[in-house]
Structure 1
Amino acid sequence: MVQQNIDFIGGGFKLTLPYTFGGWILWIIGLIITGIGVVAAVSDPVGLAVSVIGLIVMAAASPGSMSAGLHKMRKEAIAPEILQAKAEQSGYTMENWFLQQSTLVPTNDPSDWILPAPGPQTWSNNMYAPHGDGTPLPEHPAKVGTPQPATMTSYLIFAGTAAILTLVVGAVITMDEAAEAGIVPALVIAALGLILTLVNFFRAKALRQMLDTPTSLVRSAAVGHPELVGQVRPWAAGTMTVHVDSNQSMSMPNMLGYEWTYEQKQCRTVTDNEGNSREECNWVTIRTDNGGMPFILQDGTGGIKVNLESFKRTNYGQFIKRWDGAFAQTLGKQLMASAVAGLLGGARVKAHRWTLYGLRSGDPVYVLGATKPRPATEVQADPQADGTVGHTTIEVWGNEDAPGMKCTLMRGTELSNVGKSRSGLEMMVPPILLLLGGLSLIGLA
């Protein structure tokens, strides 16, 4: 039934356009900027630099090959009352107009369930027992298969063109004797290409690992490095309530893992070579914190203990909630923030932002970890663990990689994580163009 709604095999090329109002606005803005750059380039080829910005915006606004289909599937598969309840909890809220305090809960979560997931009222009292009839959950790879992103999409057209135009602009500046830029443009382009190539190489490698690793069922999981997909449920220790930055008014219950950041918008007055002054503002990270606790991964065939805090690589996806304000949460903190920013860099603090990411009970989760036997004393002390059932006697750890396999924990199922990804070719071609082109420009300098 699922595969009738969306083709999980992306193929060679797929034209991808935005599927949300915000995405279309961004895409159109990018198109306008690109057009302005083309017009400017008629009189000066360096004007193509403006087109590069527009093309990058269009590339960013172009979704993955399956994003639109998965978004539509989620809206059709999830019960309307559940979607309505989430919609009422999402969006922007002005908490205090005078203090300019507001909250933001994303209205679109690409890492959330795409197909219906069992609610807490249907969960078994035994956390290791199968759910219902013991078949895998609807969104498990055993049911829907492993999706394959399209090799090329609109993103590659825009990003690749942006890379080529960047090289053209670099060549024009390099060969312009009046500019006296020398080898600098070539080095900048090559360095940018190298950085992006390395970053995207590891991203593509992680995607390939997810695509190539077969997903195991919990009931048949053995000691080793299995890939598991399922629903987050509390272990014996239960869940926790996270108080962001130790503030009771910024709390989130039912958490199993979290990461929050506190940022300040710091502004400074800078003066250019001609004596003109302007204000320059940047968001600066002041504090961060993260943590977690063991949870049960339930895939329908059974539950297995996962030690979240042991994972070195976690990706919680979209943030859960963001709190913004013109002032710190207390007068003392506001005075301290202003004093520290002023002393260290002569900055003025104009805004504050707290952002929470995490894993909550009921969320989908993808885990690639090392399964090891649980201590015998722990199994014996666990009243729900049956020593004769394999998956109740093992647990998942994230601190021991295998050759060619990195332990990873991601919010979302394999379907949602692969579905929003781009192919390895799309990740690698634009930065490699920049790297090789930048090195070639060195010969022109």
Structure 2
Amino acid sequence: MDIKELDLNGGTFKVNLPYNWVGWLLWAIGLAITLAGLFVAMNDINGLGVAAFGLLFMALTSPGSLEAKLHQVRQSAIDPAELEAKAEASGLSIDNWWMKQTSYVPTTDPSDWILPAPGPSTWNNDDRYGPEGDGSALPEHPSKIGTPIPATMTLFSVYCLLAISLILVFTASIQEDYTPAIIITLIGLILSLVGFFRAKMVRQMIDTPTSLVRSAPVGNPELVGQVRPIDEGCLTVVVDGNQNMTVGNMVGYQWSYEQYQCRTTTDSEGNSKEECHWVTIRSDAGGCPFILHDGTGGIRVNTISFKRIDYGQYLKRWDGAFAQTLGKQIMASAIAGMLGGARVKKHRWTLYGLRLGNPVYVLGQTKPRPSEALQAEGLDGTLGNSIIEVWGNEDAPGVKCTLNRGSELSNLGRSRSGFELVILPIIMMIGGISLFGLA
């Protein structure tokens, strides 16, 4: 599929089905749970709760309204050799059989380039701020393809509305006091607030016109381009101090180390059960400045100044039944046992980040660069975009500074509409309030 054949306006309703085998598998599991719940519900009202869970599971596996089509565009637009190379570098790897240590790189990346982008061999590192080639914008720049708008309603809405209906009917038939009504109302309220702020960010991305770097003004421009290195270079991230978990060419990162801790609990009747959950033990984040280049020019962006950073899907995850070394394993088990009587069964390290060559969306504040910095790089100020830089620590009225991995096309392509983010939770909250009259 060609990008010109794609209608970027999602419209009122769009059928959005999974586009890869993992999505289809999870969707099928959700469908099976839903059908099983409805079958059980013919004789047992508890089946409605099971069916509602299945519908919510199907909703969570539904992609954004444009995500599947954009995936098709990516498959046809990107060089097959490049796609094959990425496929070979992704997937599950067994790092240590005896220690049960594995690493996994996601096989699909919704935040990656959808249209071809220049490779490192074509970058002009002698003139990082100058235009590239004929000075036209990158193929995926909004000035060339426009701004996508998510569909108002998708199958996500259908699944959620059906699930909410089943939850309300099920709760109304079993509730004996106000507790279920309070829980449903609070969940709806929390989701409404979260959805409201998320919808504001989506609306900001849609409404803000994208500037070209060569003509970026001092103020709060929206910029879309490719991550390229500054003169000082970039970062090599060593996750949790382990040299076996090293990733290079990073300009922004966030990693976490988690333990799967299990505890045996006993209820008032003397029944014992094991409760397990992931607990974050350590985490770290950081970054360095980079050049955002959109084809018309480059501009310096200060990564760690941004208060809102969305790296999208994780880059790599390491899992193991044991810690990376025997000493760390003994220490982890001892600390978990002393602090809460927990048993550590699994470990995992997850890395999120922004790398050289990635697409990036930035809405920040541009300020003049210090003269000392310009002199250090040997810049004469001829290019206006070379004497300003982007910061993300100061919002403006009606503008929230943000940095997202991915272009505007990929970020909005997987987003949901204001109706799905806000109205659906409000319907759930109103339904919860209505249950007070039935208690």
- TM above 0.5, yes or no, is yes
Q: Is the 8 A contact 2:130 2:383 kept in 1?
A: no
What does the per-residue CA deviation read over 1:138-186, in whole Å, with 9 as the maximum and x for residues that have no partner? 0000111101111111110001111121111221123xxxxxx311010
1:308 corresponds to 2:303: yes
Alpha-carbon separation, structure 2, partners of 1:335 and 1:159: 45
Residue 114 of structure 1 is matched in structure 2 by 114
2:50 maps to which residue? 50
Q: Residue 380 in 1 paired to residue 381 in 2? A: no
Note the C-alpha offset of 1:380.
Answer: 2.3
1:246 Cα deviation from its structure 2 partner: 0.9
1:439 to 410, 433, 436: 433
- TM-score normalised per structure 2: 0.98
Matched AA of 2:240 = D
Deviation at 1:428, TM superposition (A): 1.6
Aligned to 1:344: 339
Distance 1:209 1:290 in 2: 26
Aligned residue number for residue 140 of structure 1? 141
> What letter matches 1:235 in structure 2?
I
Q: Using the alignment, how far apart are the partners of 1:317 and 1:28 within structure 2?
A: 25
- 1:168 is matched with 169
**Residue in 2 aligned with 1:369?**
364
Q: Distance in 1 between matches of 2:396 and 2:438?
A: 45
Alignment partner of 2:225 out of 223, 230, 234: 230
Equivalent residue number for residue 424 of structure 1: 418
2:12 is matched with 12
Percent of residue pairs bearing the same amino acid type: 63
Q: How many residues align?
A: 438
Contact 1:2 1:144 in 2 (8 A): no
Q: Could you say which residue in structure 1 is the equivalent of 2:74?
A: 74
Q: Is the 8 A contact 1:297 1:304 kept in 2?
A: yes
Q: Which blocks of at least 5 consecutive residues in structure 1 are unaligned?
A: 175-180
CA distance in 2, matches of 1:377, 1:190: 57
- Provide the rounded CA distance (Å) in 2 between the counterparts of 1:284 and 1:291: 22
Counterpart Cα distance in 2 of 1:387 and 1:32? 63
Deviation string for 1:111-144 (max 9, x for gaps)? 0001111001111121101111110000000111
Match of 1:198 in 2: 193
Report Cα offsets for 1:279-301 as digits up to 9, x if no partner. 22111110110000000000000
CA shift for structure 1 position 31: 1.1
Q: Contact between 1:255 and 1:358, CA under 8 Å: does it hold in 2?
A: yes
The 1-side partners of 2:15 and 2:317 are apart by 33
CA deviations over 1:187-206 (Å, ceiling 9, x no partner): 00000001100111111110
1:120 & 1:361 partners in 2: Cα distance? Answer: 9
Aligned residue number for residue 178 of structure 1: none
Residues 160 and 429 in structure 1, CA contact (< 8 A), matched pair in contact too: no
Counterpart-to-counterpart distance in 1, 2:5 and 2:229: 33
Shift of 1:273: 4.1
Output the amino acid matched with 2:43: S
Is it true that 1:398 corresponds to 2:399 in the alignment?
no
The alpha-carbon deviation at position 274 of structure 1 amounts to 3.9
Q: 2:240·2:257 contact (CA, 8 Å) conserved in 1?
A: yes
Confirm or deny: 8 A CA contact 2:260 2:345 kept in the other structure: yes
Amino acid at match of 2:410: S
User: Retained in 1: the 8 A contact 2:2–2:76?
Assistant: no
Is residue 270 from structure 1 mapped to residue 265 from structure 2 by the alignment? yes
1:27 Cα deviation (Å)? 1.1
Q: Indicate which of 183, 193, 210 corresponds to 1:215.
A: 210
Report the Cα offset of residue 46 of structure 1: 3.4
Tell me the distance in 2 between the aligned counterparts of 1:279 and 1:48: 27
Task: Give the equivalent residue in structure 2 for 1:177.
Answer: none
Question: Take 2:12 and 2:220, find their aligned partners in 1: how far apart are those partners?
Answer: 32
Specify the code of the residue in structure 2 equivalent to 1:308: T
CA contact (8 A) 1:164 1:433 kept: no
Corresponding position of 2:330: 335
Work out the CA distance in 1 between the residues paired with 2:402 and 2:294: 17
Given that 1:163 and 1:431 are in contact with CA atoms closer than 8 Å, whether structure 2 keeps it comes out as no
Per-residue CA shift, 1:285-338, capped at 9, x if unaligned? 101100000000000000000000100100001111111111111222111111
Separation in 2, partners of 1:300, 1:280: 53
- Distance in 2 (CA, whole Å) between partners of 1:440 and 1:269 is 38
Q: How far apart, in 2, do the equivalents of 1:410 and 1:322 lie? A: 20
Deviation at 1:39, TM superposition (A): 1.8
**Poorly superposed stretches of 4+, deviation over 4 Å:** none
Q: Which position in structure 1 is the counterpart of 2:408? A: 414
* Contact map agreement 2:3 2:73 (CA 8 A) in 1: no
Measure the CA separation in 2 of the matches of 1:241 and 1:381: 24
Name the SS of the counterpart of 2:354 in structure 1: strand
Query: Quick one: distance in 1 between partners of 2:265 and 2:400?
Result: 45
- Unaligned 5+ runs, structure 2: none
State the alpha-carbon separation in 2 of the partners of residues 389 and 16 from structure 1: 45
The reply on whether 1:156 has 2:157 as its aligned counterpart is yes
Q: Secondary structure of the residue that 1:107 maps to in structure 2?
A: coil
Query: 2:60 aligns to what?
Result: 60
Give 1:2 deviation, angstroms.
4.4
For 2:130, give the aligned amino acid.
A
Structure 1 counterpart of 2:389, which letter? Answer: E
Aligned counterpart, 2:348:
353
* Partner secondary structure for residue 147 of structure 1: coil
